Amino acid sequence: MKTRDDIRNIAIIAHVDHGKTTLVNELLKQSDTLDEHVQIDDRAMDTNDIEKERGITILSKNTAVRYQDKQINILDTPGHADFGGEVERIMRMVDGVLLVVDAFEGTMPQTRFVLKKALDQHLTPVVVINKVDRPGARPSEVVDEVLDLFIELGADDEQLDFPVIYTSAMNGTSSYDEDLSTQEHTMKPVFDTIIKAIPAPIDNSDEPLQFQVAMLDYDDFVGRIGIGRVFRGTIKVGDNVTVMKLDGSTQNFRVTKLMGFFGLKKLDINEAKAGDLIAVSGMDEINVGESVVDPSNQEALPILRIDEPTLQMTFGTNTSPFAGKEGKFVTARQLQDRLERELHTDVSLRVEETDQPGSWTVSGRGELHLSILIENLRREGYELQVSRPQVIIREVDGQQCEPFESVQIDTPDEYSGTIIQTLSERKGNMQNMESVGNGQTRLTFLAPSRGLIGYSTEFLSITRGYGIMNHTFDSYQPVIKNWNPGRRNGALVSINEGKTTTYATMGIEDRGTIFVDPGTEVYEGMIVGKNSRDNDISVNITKGKQMTNVRASAKDETAKIKEPQHLTLEESLEFLNEDELCEVTPENVRLRKEILNTNEREKQAKRKRHNS
């Protein structure tokens, strides 16, 4: 069988923060790709601001490097389970994977998650043990862990015979040996192993065209762009082709533009053939998983599966007293247009209208998936309000089922008891507990997604920031009845509008934790803190001290209050109860009650108590 020995197609897969984006950077730097004068940023593949700030990859990225006379097409995939749909589709575009594993942490939940997707596609693996220079690194043990994981996931004999390279991507060094002294400032072992171990694509470019879209991009000038692989045949600019839609219908179009990937750029090309990874434009409504074929030979490729959403929130226009003061885009029409635009590129997202005007149900793959969308909106100048995240209940074999997740926790030994207790209260079922040395314990749980909403803040508090928690979707299981895992603490709610004062804050800070600084503008119904008990308290946080003489006034200036707790967007979403909303603007994230009027809210609470 004829192959294209001039290219290799690989995906880089790893758990979050094991260094794959840094490794891609180093491969770019040390290949024959970039001009000598081009300066490359750290983690250049993470182009989105949020990716840069958090050090995570959200969207898969394509690049290609030249090495000797070959082109290596590299796909950098997300490591977080919320973006697992991206990983699965990428696996169909490549012939092999580079599995990057931290030499200290070893295999983690997302290592298992992404590796399973690769093995299911029968891809050829190359294992890279990264961060070998990290204190406490244990490369040989980690290789054993990786082998155990391959066996556990049902790898075949060829996949079990994987080559191993040891690297420090941060320093740009690599070696075939685990001994740190053998590390040299070169990525040659990585390049050579890719060329030798990863199969070259089959060259069937003389057969009828088959191209499949695995990712979407969007451009205001050319509209939707389908990114994918040519599996068979040749495609040229100006060709008339047929799109085989997911619903079984077909649509003809003319290819107006083809782009290839090279270094950090997309370059216009005139033609592509079997084995090439390219971007195609000219189709208005192309979707992920659809096949582009020769009109005279309409044979579709197997449809790509897209992970269904497991979590939903209500997005609405901002209705607080401060609405319209801080954002550029504040109307329902503007928010709806923006959400619909997101659907052009994010195939795991769903947006549905509700019976309330100016309000939509937005469904995604998890808290991180949705919170990143909200963060992007606020940075672009949108104002909106969102509800507490809720899991999506599905019917499986006639039974109501909810999503469950596999949770892996690494924690200092002294906190393991509290973690077991708190996760058991959230209906987590402990499946394994082992000591991993250095005073650390690894705990594995199966827990309902509902119970994990809001747990990460509590977890960080329990472990004083020393614990690491990772969770990934496992399965749908029967709904746990008569259980509501909502927040245990009540809220401190402002009874009026105005600026908060130090004097008023001093009077209420012993009731709980304050969220706002003195001098903050608040409104009636806005949540200004967390009660130390389980009930809500209405508070006057804008009250000023009655000044009777000059000395008293000066004394108030020096009054000391505790440092308020400033919640991030994720912490705010986790804090929400069912009768609360999070108001998000470009300048502020505020928590509020759905019913702002204090009397009205208390009447409703009485009615609720009476009815129950």
Dig out the tokens for 227 from the structure: 């990114």
Q: How many degrees, rounded to 5, is the angle at CA 253 between CA 264 and CA 342?
A: 50
The partner residues of 385 in beta bridges, in order of sequence, read 316, 583
Nearest CA among 528, 478, 525 for reference residue 507: 528
Q: Report the alpha-carbon distance of residue 191 to residue 181 in Å, rounded.
A: 20
**What sections of 430-497 are H helices per DSSP?**
449-452, 455-462
Question: CA-to-CA distance for 308 and 558, rounded, in angstroms?
Answer: 55
**Cα 289 from Cα 450, distance rounded (Å):** 31
Copy the structure tokens of residue 307. Answer: 């992970």
The residues pairing with 97 across neighbouring beta strands, listed in sequence order, are: 11, 125
Residue type, 454: G
C-beta separation of 398 from 586 below 8 A: no
Lookup: tokens for 298: 């309409």
Give CATH superfamily name and number for 5-195.
Answer: P-loop containing nucleotide triphosphate hydrolases (3.40.50.300)
In whole angstroms, what is the distance from residue 424 CA to residue 429 CA?
A: 6
Integer Rg of the chain from CA: 27
What six digits make up the tokens of 126? 């190359």
Mapped onto helix, strand or coil, the DSSP state of residue 461 is helix
Binding-site residues: 17-22, 130-133
Report the binding-site residues for GTP. 17-22, 130-133
Separation between Cα atoms, residue 515 and residue 500, nearest integer Å: 11
Whole-number pLDDT of residue 553: 46
Cα 489 to Cα 495, 513, 605, distances in angstroms: 19, 10, 16
Domain 393-476 listed as CATH 3.30.70.240: yes
AA identity, residue 399: Q
Strand 394-396 with 399-412, pairing: antiparallel
CA separation for the pair 578, 557 (Å, rounded): 39
Q: How far apart, in whole angstroms, are the C-alpha atoms of residue 36 and residue 377?
A: 37
Is 211 within 8 Å of 225 (Cβ atoms)? Answer: no
Of residues 281, 251, 231, the one with CA closest to residue 94: 231
Provide the whole-model pTM.
0.75
Nearest to 462 by CA among 501, 510, 418, 403: 418
pLDDT of residue 471: 79
> 443: closest CA among 425, 424, 458?
424
Question: CA dihedral defined by 386, 586, 369, 392, rounded to 10 degrees?
Answer: 0
162 vs 125: CA distance, rounded Å? 6
Q: What is the CATH number of domain 309-392?
A: 3.30.70.870
Residue-level pLDDT at 374:
93
Place of tokens 């909200």: 374
- For residue 266, give the DSSP letter: E
The reported pLDDT for the residue numbered 361 is 95
CATH number of 208-291: 2.40.30.10
Encoded tokens for 207: 């057969």
DSSP output for 194-243: HHHHSPPPB--TTSPPEEEEEEEEEETTTEEEEEEEEEESEEETT-EEEE
Distance of CA 132 to the CA centre of its chain: 27
- Max CA separation in the chain (angstroms): 96
pLDDT, tens digit, 9 for 90 and up, residues 415-455: 999 999 999 999 999 999 988 777 888 899 999 999 988 78
Q: How far apart are CA 354 and CA 25, in angstroms?
A: 44
Q: Quick one: pLDDT at residue 226?
A: 85
Length reported for the chain = 612
How would DSSP label each residue in 327-375? -SB-SHHHHHHHHHHHTTT-TT-EEEE-SSTTEEEEEESSHHHHHHHHH
- Domains of the chain by residue range: 5-195, 208-291, 309-392, 393-476, 489-549+556-609
Ramachandran sector of residue 560 (left: φ over 0; alpha: ψ -120 to 50; beta: rest): beta
pLDDT at 427: 93
The yes or no reply on domain 489-549+556-609 and CATH 2.40.50.250 is yes
Q: 555 in the Ramachandran plot: left (φ > 0), alpha (ψ -120 to 50) or beta?
A: alpha
Residue ranges for the chain with pLDDT beneath 70: 31-61, 78-86, 109-110, 264, 305, 307, 546-559, 612
Q: Which two tokens stand for residue 475?
A: 């399965």
309-392 and 393-476 have identical folds = yes
Do the beta carbons of residue 447 and residue 428 sit within 8 Å? yes
Taking the C-alpha atoms of residue 419 and residue 411, their distance in angstroms, rounded to an integer, is 9
Identity of residue 459: F
Q: Cα–Cα distance between 485 and 216 in angstroms, integer?
A: 37
The SS3 of residue 75 is strand
Q: Is residue 439 exposed (0-12), middle (13-18) or buried (19+ Cβ within 10 Å)?
A: exposed
pLDDT at res. 559: 61
